[in-house]
Amino acid sequence: MSVGIVSYGAYVPIYRMSQETISQVWGTRGGKGEKAIGNWDEDSLTMAVEACIDCLSGYDRKSVDWLYMGTTSPVYLEKQSASMIAKALDLRKDIVTADITNSLRAGTSSLRAAIDAVKAGSAQHCLVTVSECQAAPPNSAFERLFGDGAAALMIGDKDVAVEIEGSYGITSDFLDIWRNPRDTYPQMWEERFVVEHGYLERMPEVVSGLCQKYSVTPKDFNKVVYYGFDARRHGELSKMLRLDPGQVQDPLLSSVGNTRAASAFMMLVAALEEAKPGDRILFVGYGDGADAFMLKVTDQIEKIRNRRGIRKHLESKMMMPFYGKYLRFRDMMEWEQNRIARAYGSLTMAWRDREWVFACKGQKCRNCGNIEFPMQRICAYCQAKDNFEEINLSEKRGTLFTYSMDALTTVTPDPPNVLAVVDLEGGGRFYTTVTDRDTGSLSAGMPMELTFRRVHDEQRYHNYFWKCRPIRVQ
Amino acid sequence: MAESIKDKVAIIGTGCAKFGERWDAGFADLVIEAANEALADAKVELNDIDAGWVASMWQCTGATLALPLKMQFKPVSRIENACASAIDALRNAAFSVAAGVYDLVLVVGVEKLKDMGEGGLPPGGMPSAHTVYEADFTAPGTFALAATRYFSKYGLTPAEGKKMLGMISVKSHHNGARNPKAHLRMEVTLEKAMNAPIIAWPLGLFDCCGVTDGAAAAVICRKEDARKFRDDYALIKGFGLSIGPGMGAVRTDYDYTIWQETVYAAEQAYKDAGIKNPREELSQIEVHDCFTIAELIAVESLGICERGHAKEDIESGAWTQEGEIPVNLSGGLKSFGHPIGASGVREVAEVVRQLQGRADDPSRQLKNPKMGLVHNQGGVPGKFMAGIAIIGLPG
């Protein structure tokens, strides 16, 4: 019985900010490339949901037994993200959920736990998602470096597409990057010390440990997928490991940026998109030590090619037109609009309506057959009482019946607020707002899809709901 | 067997506060301004009034009327039905008079909006709102949904559509500019209307009514008592009130180009009044034009213009003062202003004064009007509460 990756998925937010946009604001030198930035209504939780939906494509969602969420940028310091992701994905109730946080290692720690859960027979399908949306201090090296994104892997022992042949890890108390409970941004000791005695020591150490344990050499792998502190250090490490340029997986640093705990996972998904059956992959993550995994691609990989993954998400993008928009997106200043109450917050109400607010459930009337969203007690068409079948609408596509662009609600971080009436395929109407949109290219009748987003933070908790967007990947 | 309200209740006094951004006036000042004028117009004293009905969306309880006027322990009900509050208050008051429960009743609508510290109406934020569903759906945004849909359904380009709506605004401002108590008393050119800043695309600034403070009042009694107060009283001919189940956002057969609640309310009111051909029988209509597209669809929904053909009416000038059926001769909500709970009574006052030949500015006076219709509509497309009152001369 081999345990491995049975499915993969990823998510890259649609917005990219060029290094030039950053340089212009701070009067620094250019810099090449761009990085992915979550829309104002995205966070590590919503991006994890996106990556998981991609990963679960073609899978019965009710087959997921465990869900691990790895991140250094959880949406709450207290309150699990995984349980909310599970609700948005409409997973079973009797599953195990856990967040693994507080370290760049959050992703590989989650993966190791998932592998062990499947090996032990505790779970047949263990979903691991790693997601990051971490703003950096303005005008800093981190600001140039950090990007947002997510990946998801389903670990199982049947229909394995990527066998996990072995793993090796080392732990280290080395303090390089940290964040105090009241800090907004991560802090770092002097970079040269941090890199030389952290990243550039632990990474070779874990690779050589794994090679010794399994009697292999880095040359034995078709691809080496490893976390890159930054582009220069990623290149230095390649030389230290004596890798051929063809072996080195693109660290995505000039297209997505460093997505911290999610970084190596997003690179791995990109590698799997290109991988052929029989390929061997060395996968290495960093943080509080390091973890290395020895992977082997099987024939099954051909059956899970239809993911949006990294490549298709990268192709679909909108450039951040100016830095001020980014400041609004990440809410990095005190705003005039903060005086105005934007919306109504009530956890009681959100809890009562959780099935449709979170799990995107509509209903089909057993009497007249019409589909309705949100859920009603009395049928909107035939007035039948409490006689419905619940149906999940989150993956339904639809067409834009009508829309408007409200420039008056200046309280939205990204005016105009685009309102939409979307008629779903197979029935049902969704009344929501449009996100990830180019306001110049909207038109009645255009195809739309639903996406889980953070709508507002009234009452100081996060209100999530489903929005629509023009179909991201055809 | 229920009977029509037609010709049972008379309006014997009307009053209206100056509409506008009344920084100087609280709701109480506005109530006093409107009520005093109506009482004086009816030549009655406050203590002659048996009961009061007060309409307001933001001011709660009957004290909204009793407190400013110092009414002495009389029954007062506060009615709230969003923008249809005032017509609903008049309707309830008229029923009480027709039932013979009271002889003389004061109806006041009032809204004080400009104490909120921001332009427009606040989106969401009310305990009746949902946390996330419709959380960002403002009034301009939701009415704009209807404009986009109307354009696409009837094959109008955005430019053609905006021109059509702009012409409504030009007409309403032309009317309101000559109405002394109106809020936005200025003529607007079509070019200015069409090129105004966008509020909610495709609606621009001149497609949207003002956010206005104001109050209006009416004194009513039974028809047989009316002559005790004046000879030129007006009579209530009919009422319509239709509250929809609000499923426009849920049902795929709701298409945003017809106000269903208004269709039903009109059916009730026309039946009461015995109207067969509203376009010919009505001398004027004051419709709910919180946005220009709202006026357009309201006129079609009232059966006064064939569905999808408003553009022809607008271009031919059929809705102007000189046209076949003057629409919003007062300036409408667009130019006169829209203090939510006040608008219905204010429009009733407009119709009554026209019937009496007493328009404030002689240039606005209709020749021999017989009957006018007042229409208000609360809520948003797909979820309306529509109210209609038809007021006419005796006979």
* Count of helix runs (H) and strand runs (E) in chain A: 13, 22
| A326 and A351 in a common domain | no
Sign of the dihedral through C-alpha A299, A300, A305, A308:
negative
| A326 and A177 in a common domain | yes
d(CA B284, CA B265) in angstroms, rounded, equals 17
Location of structure tokens 């006076």: B365
B129/A340 CB distance under 8 A:
no
Question: Looking at residue A429, what is its pLDDT?
Answer: 98
Alpha carbon of B221 to those of A182, B98, B232, B356: distances in Å? 68, 8, 14, 17
Q: Which residues of A touch B134 (CB under 8 A)?
A: 431
3-state secondary structure of A190: coil
Q: Work out the minimum CA distance from A116 to partner chain B, whole angstroms.
A: 39
Cα first-last separation, chain A: 37
pTM: 0.95
* Per-residue pLDDT tens digits for A387-396: 999 999 999 9
**Does any domain span residue B317?**
no
User: What are the helix (H) ranges across A61-163?
Assistant: 81-88, 106-119, 141-145
- Tell me how many domains chain A contains: 2
ipTM of the complex: 0.92
Partner A, chain B 250-309, Cβ-Cβ below 8 Å: 250-252, 254, 256
* Per-residue pLDDT tens digits for A417-459: 999 999 999 999 999 999 999 999 999 999 999 999 999 998 8
Interface test with B, best of A41, A385, A402, A452 (most B CBs within 10 A): A402
- The answer to whether residue B338 is catalytic is yes
| A38 and A147 in a common domain | yes
**Mean pLDDT rounded to a whole number for chain B:** 96
Return the CATH number at B87. Answer: 3.40.47.10
- The answer to whether residue B375 is catalytic is no
Question: Looking at residue A30, what is its pLDDT?
Answer: 74
Parallel, antiparallel or unpaired: strands A429-433 and A223-226: unpaired
Residue A334: how many other CB atoms lie within 10 Å: 6
Q: Quick one: which of B143, B137, B111 has its CA closest to B124?
A: B137
| A397 and A285 in a common domain | no
Closest-CA residue in chain B for A453?
B132
Q: Work out the minimum CA distance from A255 to partner chain B, whole angstroms.
A: 33
B135/A381 CB distance under 8 A:
no
d(CA A160, CA A163) in angstroms, rounded, equals 6
Q: Which residues of A touch B135 (CB under 8 A)?
A: 342-344, 455-456, 463, 465
Check residues B390 and A335 and name the one with the higher pLDDT. B390
For B81-88, what is the mean pLDDT? 97
**Does any domain span residue B160?**
no
| A402 and A464 in a common domain | yes
Catalytic option among B83, B209, B290, B305: B83
**Does any domain span residue A335?**
no
Expressed as residue numbers, the domain containing A446 is 347-470
Q: Can you spell out the DSSP letters for B120-168?
A: SPPPS-STTS-SSTTTT--HHHHHHHHHHHHHHHTT--HHHHHHHHHHH
Location of structure tokens 């909204």: B64
**Does any domain span residue A340?**
no
**Does any domain span residue B105?**
yes
Q: Quick one: which of A342, A466, A350 has its CA closest to A415?
A: A342
Last residue of a domain, one of A276, A301, A330: A330
Q: Work out the minimum CA distance from B66 to partner chain A, whole angstroms.
A: 32
Residue A70's pLDDT band (cuts 50, 70, 90): very high
Q: Can you spell out the DSSP letters for B297-326?
A: HHHHHTTSS-TT-HHHHHHHTTTSTTSSS-
| A171 and A25 in a common domain | yes
Q: Work out the minimum CA distance from B148 to partner chain A, whole angstroms.
A: 6
For A413-417, what is the mean pLDDT? 92
Residue A209: how many other CB atoms lie within 10 Å: 15
B125/A401 CB distance under 8 A:
no
A463/B131 CB distance under 8 A:
yes
B118/A444 CB distance under 8 A:
no
Sign of the dihedral through C-alpha A422, B128, A456, B119:
positive
| A324 and A374 in a common domain | no
Could you tell me if A462 and A305 are in contact, meaning their C-beta atoms sit under 8 angstroms apart?
no
Residue A276's pLDDT band (cuts 50, 70, 90): very high
Question: Looking at residue A411, what is its pLDDT?
Answer: 72
Q: Quick one: which of A233, A74, A225, A204 has its CA closest to A141?
A: A233
Return the CATH number at A254. Answer: 3.40.47.10
- Tell me how many domains chain B contains: 1
Question: Looking at residue B344, what is its pLDDT?
Answer: 98
**Does any domain span residue B347?**
no
A444/B120 CB distance under 8 A:
no
**Does any domain span residue A35?**
yes
Q: Quick one: which of A102, A103, A93 has its CA closest to A67?
A: A93
**Does any domain span residue A338?**
no
Last residue of a domain, one of A300, A330, A360: A330
Q: Residue B337 region, left (φ>0) first, then alpha (ψ -120 to 50), else beta? A: left
For A37-42, what is the mean pLDDT? 98
| A231 and A269 in a common domain | yes
Of A250-254, A350-354, B130-134, B212-216, the poorest mean pLDDT is in: B130-134
Catalytic option among B173, B183, B338, B375: B338
**Does any domain span residue A312?**
yes
**Does any domain span residue B269?**
no
Residue A337 above 80 pLDDT?
no
Could you tell me if A69 and A48 are in contact, meaning their C-beta atoms sit under 8 angstroms apart?
yes
Residue B124's pLDDT band (cuts 50, 70, 90): very low
| A366 and A318 in a common domain | no
Alpha carbon of A237 to those of A24, A32, A46, A209, A248: distances in Å? 31, 21, 33, 16, 10
Check if A464 contacts B (Cβ < 8 Å): yes
**Does any domain span residue A366?**
yes
Residue B125 above 50 pLDDT?
no
* Per-residue pLDDT tens digits for A154-205: 999 999 999 999 999 999 999 999 999 999 999 999 999 999 999 999 999 9
For B217-231, what is the mean pLDDT? 98
Could you tell me if A96 and A125 are in contact, meaning their C-beta atoms sit under 8 angstroms apart?
no
**What are the tokens at A20?**
């030039």
Q: How are the residues of chain A apportioned to helix, strand and coil, as percentages rounded to the nearest 5? A: 30, 30, 40
**Mean pLDDT rounded to a whole number for chain A:** 96
**Does any domain span residue B234?**
no
| A463 and A326 in a common domain | no
Residue B98 above 70 pLDDT?
yes
d(CA A203, CA A104) in angstroms, rounded, equals 13
Angle, vertex CA A136, rays to CA A130 and CA A138, nearest 5 = 165
Last residue of a domain, one of A273, A297, A330: A330
Q: Which residues of B touch A423 (CB under 8 A)?
A: 252
Expressed as residue numbers, the domain containing B23 is 9-116+212-220
A349/B145 CB distance under 8 A:
no
| A290 and A231 in a common domain | yes
A404/B152 CB distance under 8 A:
no
For A375-389, what is the mean pLDDT? 97
| A403 and A289 in a common domain | no
d(CA A162, CA A275) in angstroms, rounded, equals 10
Residue A1's pLDDT band (cuts 50, 70, 90): low
